[in-house]
Amino acid sequence: MAKPLEGRLKAMAEKAKKRSEVAEQQDSVQPACDERNLAYGVQVSEDEIAFRFSPVLPSHGDDRRAMANAILRSSLFGVVEKGKRKYEKKVHKITIQGLSLSVTGEQLDQSDLDVFLECLHRHQGQTLGTKVRFTAGSFLRAINRDVGKANYLWLNDVLARLSLYGIELGDGQRFYLGTLLNEMYRDENSKEYVITVNPKFSVFFADGLWTGLDTKERQSLKGKALALWLHGFYSTHEKPFPYKVETLKGMCGSVTVTKEFRRTLKKAMFDVSTITGWTCNIDPKTDLVHVVKTKAVRHE
């Protein structure tokens, strides 16, 4: 058992003992059952301990997919031109102020994000680190993909990419170093995939630092990489700040020239506005992008 856990159990036992002494003296209420067990040396199983202290992702309903704001406010799942995916080694990604992100692995795009969102969703109600099983067909249907050989191969490639992709993510208070999928393999007997997510990843879901992305809205933007990135990015803002076009270009990972990006951005903003009802425009004088939201997607 790890020392931090031993310390917590010891503290709980000491607290329970004190409560017990007070109860005997004042004939008051007895300590809680689990605390009494610890205080009086009753064996507590490691599985029970693991369940108590292992993190569980927040509940968000079936019409949304939860993602940490720190992920959506960067180019981790960026805009990658088809056929131009690169391998990156300890590359520092542009993020909003206050975040730091370094990555190693094959570039990830918005279709990879669809898969990762569903992987996390399948952990809902279970502690991270629990093995989650699914068939390729059920998973593809869940993310609105056709079921067939081509997409079976595609899904296998994405899951492998997520399991090999390493990130170093920090916000000044929290830090995570590890892969996006902690484990991924296929059970050849049941033909099911088995995945796990590192429990430590949940630190970026704490304190409401996550957003429930509207599934229908994302599906309506399918195939529109920049629009999908904008939708994720601005979903993390209740009242979005104005950002320079050049800043958004860097944060989404686009490598096109700014003039071309601005033209693509206008089209993507129109697509997002049509789906969400948000008002989106670029100030021609300042080159600042303004987004006014008529409804909040961000978790509160």
SS (H, E, C) the chain: CCHHHHHHHHHHHHHHHHHHHHHHHHCCCCCCHHHHHHHCCCCCCHHHHHHHHCCECCCCCCCEEEEEHHHHCECCEECCCCCCCCEEEEEECCECCCCEEEEEEECEEHHHHHHHHHHHHCCCCCECCCCEEECHHHHHHHCCCCCCHHHHHHHHHHHHHHHHCEEEEECCCCEEEEECCCEEEEECCCCEEEEECCHHHHHHHHHHCEEEEEHHHHHHCCCCHHHHHHHHHHHCCCCCCCEEHHHHHHHHCCCCCHHHHHHHHHHHHHHHHHHHCCEEEECCCCCEEEEECCCCCECC
**59 belongs to a structural domain:** no
35 and 175: one domain?
A: no
Q: What is the pLDDT of residue 24?
A: 37
Q: What is the pLDDT of residue 18?
A: 47
Instruction: Provide the residue type at 46 as one letter.
Output: E
Q: Is the pTM of this model over 0.85?
A: no
Domain count, the chain: 2
**212 belongs to a structural domain:** yes
43 and 192: one domain?
A: no
**133 belongs to a structural domain:** yes
Q: Are 160 and 105 in contact (CB under 8 A)?
A: no
Q: What is the pLDDT of residue 295?
A: 58
**141 belongs to a structural domain:** yes
85 and 11: one domain?
A: no
**299 belongs to a structural domain:** no
82 and 31: one domain?
A: no
Would you give per-residue pLDDT tens digits along the chain (300 residues)?
444 444 443 444 454 344 434 333 433 333 333 333 333 333 444 444 343 344 777 777 788 999 999 999 999 999 998 888 999 999 999 999 899 999 999 999 999 999 999 999 998 888 888 999 999 999 999 999 999 999 999 999 999 999 999 999 999 989 999 999 999 999 888 889 999 999 899 888 888 889 999 999 999 999 999 999 999 999 999 999 999 999 999 999 999 999 999 999 999 999 999 999 999 999 999 999 999 997 544 444
177 and 257: one domain?
A: yes
114 and 90: one domain?
A: yes
Q: What is the pLDDT of residue 49?
A: 38
In angstroms, the Cα distances linking 235 to 190, 211, 226 are: 38, 7, 14
**298 belongs to a structural domain:** no
33 and 164: one domain?
A: no
69 and 30: one domain?
A: no
Q: Which of 31, 53, 75 is the last residue of a domain?
A: 53
The candidate with the shortest Cα–Cα distance to 253, out of 111, 76, 33, is: 76
Measured distance CA(251)–CA(75) in Å, rounded: 5
**Longest alpha-carbon distance in the chain:** 78
91 and 200: one domain?
A: yes
**102 belongs to a structural domain:** yes
Q: What is the pLDDT of residue 270?
A: 98
Q: Are 56 and 206 in contact (CB under 8 A)?
A: no
**58 belongs to a structural domain:** no
27 and 111: one domain?
A: no
Residue 210 burial (CB < 10 Å; 0-12/13-18/19+)?
buried
Measured distance CA(252)–CA(229) in Å, rounded: 7
29 and 171: one domain?
A: no
Q: Where in the sequence is the domain holding 42, given as residue range(s)?
A: 3-53
219 and 151: one domain?
A: yes
